[in-house]
Structure 1
């Protein structure tokens, strides 16, 4: 697959800048979320899988153990020997700064970890946390702040029980950019009550505020969620395969070349996935996106953001 010929992918961007393959290793650092513990809400987002509340999920292995497990898999699969620790599960800035520093530095203590990617909510990035991330960046580490916005429309965010609005996102972006922190914004396509226009407008508003990376996901219906109940009652209809593929291709074409895509789709475990069934097929989706981009472009885009004739 030659998707990187049409879109600036994160993997190719890392290869270009670091001169070698760099992979993200997903980390569950044992944090929770203000939309679960009652400070902002309870139950989490309507699409969030409640099985994550299990005791085993709340007591994951140490950061170092997770990195070792991840590197064993990656080295067998691709041979990569440099990694970014991706603090993915829950809200990874939702703790005292001293606790955050300890978790992050456990990852950075690994000699083959060259940086951090911190997944969080726009309403959970106080200045002290941004200063800490800027400190690591000043030391030469690769640092990304990944903000889960999902939609720029407050009525949509309220409907899925996000617990924040677009104003919190805009504020977080302004403060992060003032510190020179690269931002990757997460957007979900197929949210309840939204159509392609809402997605295009969210994309436009995010670009207007400034961003270095984007991550696109189709909305999954998974077991143990309020969204699953809405789907069973016929109150929510998941996105169709062709709708998603064509809209992703459209967004890629509308994105300035200097912005990298960390992800163009997302999958769910088959044992949890209820709908749409195609969300279990990552490569089918990516291959279809590549074909859609090929139909739309007479020239390729590449990892440098420059067209090729």
Structure 2
């Protein structure tokens, strides 16, 4: 069986081709918050977000330098990589004053083996000042990715999960970022309440029609301490089966333009809070299932031809 990396452009392969060596992301939590939980846009966050982790007393992240060191020690043992992207992952990493953002980004880039930034954020939290800052880093030769958590291109779905923004905000952010040459990675979720595989395909169509450089896809998982968990317990929400997810992921890979870089094709939550679906915890089974399905489809096409 051929692997996913052999069948489509993955982010790891993109970085290897660009830099001639392995480059890995190190996830960071720098205590940023979110406008959908601090009252600016809403309270409680999205229906699938773990509210327990919203307690400020429960989030005292280590300094950026310590997080990077811990990450590089693990990665070097596993792959031998010597270059890294600082991945500002937790919560909304453009939601602060420009001075504070600059301070934190600069701290990460001060590490000699950090060659760029990947900034996870919401489409409604990307002011021009932030884009100018990221564009400036890129002009200095750093690898810069803006990761926008869209999840769905349907406003009805975004409203149902209490996202706090619509597709229009995403469209605006993408156009402004790409006009400055900043690479965009769009996050999509399969299995959102009320959505079918047709919704997933249409979301992808709208996203790629606007222009995005990368994609992240993962199944909706139910975790403790969320409103989605209550809906699931009450029989109001049924998660995707693994086979359903594999079919959707394969559909989207086939539909996406060839130049799209796939940053992720599945994901899960910590086993300490994951409720369902249990198969989400088996990352490689899911990825191998997607690879097998893509290979099966391509073989079927060759046989027909």
1: CA distance, partners of 2:299 / 2:275: 38
1: CA distance, partners of 2:249 / 2:167: 22
User: After the TM superposition, which residues 212-231 of structure 1 pair with which residues of structure 2 at under 5 Å, given as runs?
Assistant: 212-231=213-232
1: CA distance, partners of 2:221 / 2:58: 20
Q: Identify the residue that residue 303 of structure 2 maps to in structure 1.
A: none
2: CA distance, partners of 1:215 / 1:224: 24
Q: Identify the residue that residue 192 of structure 1 maps to in structure 2.
A: 193
Q: Offset at 1:298?
A: 4.4
User: After the TM superposition, which residues 1-309 of structure 1 pair with which residues of structure 2 at under 5 Å, given as runs?
Assistant: 2-55=3-56, 57-298=58-299
2: CA distance, partners of 1:140 / 1:128: 19
2: CA distance, partners of 1:144 / 1:57: 29
**Does 53-62 or 236-245 show the bigger shift?**
53-62
2: CA distance, partners of 1:17 / 1:80: 14
Q: Deviations over 1:68-127 (max 9, x none)?
A: 010011011111110000000000000000000000010000000000000000000000
Q: Offset at 1:240?
A: 1.0
The alpha-carbon distance between structure 1 residues 15 and 56, as it changes in their structure 2 partners (threshold 3 A), is: farther
- Mark the runs of 5 or more structure 2 residues left unpaired by the alignment: 301-305
SS in 2 for 1:297: helix
Q: Offset at 1:55?
A: 3.9
Q: Deviations over 1:157-183 (max 9, x none)?
A: 000000000000000011001100000
Q: Offset at 1:58?
A: 2.7
Q: Deviations over 1:14-44 (max 9, x none)?
A: 0001000000000001100000000000000
Q: Offset at 1:56?
A: 5.4
Q: Deviations over 1:176-221 (max 9, x none)?
A: 0110000000000000000011000000000000000000010000
2: CA distance, partners of 1:203 / 1:36: 27
**Does 58-67 or 178-187 show the bigger shift?**
58-67
Q: Offset at 1:246?
A: 1.0
2: CA distance, partners of 1:57 / 1:79: 33
Q: Offset at 1:57?
A: 4.5
Alignment TM-score, normalising by the size of structure 1: 0.95
SS in 1 for 2:85: strand
Structure 1 residue ranges (4+ consecutive) displaced by more than 6 angstroms after TM superposition? none
Aligned length: 299
The alpha-carbon distance between structure 1 residues 65 and 99, as it changes in their structure 2 partners (threshold 3 A), is: same
Q: Offset at 1:270?
A: 1.6
Structure showing greater relative contact order (alpha-carbon pairs closer than 8 Å, 6 or more residues apart): 1
CA RMSD of aligned residues (A): 1.1
2: CA distance, partners of 1:199 / 1:253: 13
2: CA distance, partners of 1:289 / 1:134: 35
- Mark the runs of 5 or more structure 1 residues left unpaired by the alignment: 300-309
1: CA distance, partners of 2:261 / 2:17: 12
SS in 2 for 1:31: coil
1: CA distance, partners of 2:234 / 2:296: 38
